[in-house]
Structures are given as C-alpha cells and as structure tokens.
C-alpha cells in the first residue's frame, strides 16, 4: 500500500526544472516566448492542479479552474520574468506565487 502512495506522489510531483524553457520565456522573440510558456504550462499543470487539490482542499472542478486562472494570470503579469534562481528553486517560486494567487481569490 505504501508503494501506491509513493507512486501517486511521484506522478503528481513537480517536474525537474526545464531551464531552457525558463530562459526562453524571457525572450524578446514572441514566438520563442510563447512556445516556452506553453511548455511551462504543459510541464507544471498537473503538479499545480494536485497541489491546489491537496493544500487548498478544492474540488476537481475548482482546482481545474484555479489552475487555468493561475497560469493565465502568470502569463499576463509576467510572473516567470520575476523568477530569480539564486533565491529559490523554481517549484518553490511557483508555489509561492500560487499560494498568493489563491489567497487573493478566496
């Protein structure tokens, strides 16, 4: 039973940081930037969704809506441009941004 729990956690864990996507998300080239942002959303969507379900105790539907709204806001407000790797890991940065976003939504 413990193995299933670990497998579930591993499946929903934050992925390894894709530095090429983080750097490209700051690009002046709009096409490169959009491609990078799409990759970031695709890579982190599931982890963000499950984080919202677990930490914020949201239903599946609410977690989907909040995940979508978070990424929309993050792209609109250039959250990823503010990331400073010397201060925190990217997943920590994302969770901090997400927690602030959800606290403001509630």
Query: Is 2 a residue whose pLDDT tops 60?
Result: no
99 occurs within a structural domain: yes
Contact 74, 80 (CB under 8 A): yes
Residue among 98, 53, 106 nearest 71 (CA)? 98
**Which of 3-7, 8-12, 13-17, 101-105 ranks highest by mean pLDDT?**
101-105
Res 105: pLDDT: 86
Alpha helix locations (H) across 1-106?
2-12, 19-24, 30-55, 60-76, 90-105
16 occurs within a structural domain: no
Range of the domain at 97: 44-105
92 occurs within a structural domain: yes
35 occurs within a structural domain: no
User: What's the domain count of the chain?
Assistant: 1
50 occurs within a structural domain: yes
What confidence tens digit (pLDDT) does each residue in 57-80 have?
A: 999 999 999 999 999 999 999 999
63 occurs within a structural domain: yes
Res 18: pLDDT: 87
Q: For residue 104, give both structure tokens.
A: 């403001």
DSSP state of 84: -
What confidence tens digit (pLDDT) does each residue in 8-58 have?
A: 445 568 888 889 999 999 999 999 999 999 999 999 999 999 999 999 999
Helix (H, G, I), strand (E, B) or coil at 25: coil
Q: How far apart (Å, rounded) are the C-alpha atoms in residues 71 and 77?
A: 10
């Amino acid at each position: 039973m413990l193995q299933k729990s670990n497998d579930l956690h591993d499946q929903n864990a934050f992925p390894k940081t894709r530095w090429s996507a983080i750097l490209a998300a700051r690009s002046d080239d709009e096409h490169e930037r959009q491609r990078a942002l799409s990759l970031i959303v695709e890579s982190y969507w599931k982890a963000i969704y499950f984080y919202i379900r677990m930490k914020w105790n949201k239903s599946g539907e609410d977690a989907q809506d909040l995940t979508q709204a978070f990424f929309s806001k993050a792209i609109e407000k250039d959250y990823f441009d503010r990331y400073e790797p010397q201060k925190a890991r990217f997943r920590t940065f994302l969770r901090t941004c997400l927690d602030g976003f959800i606290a403001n939504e509630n």
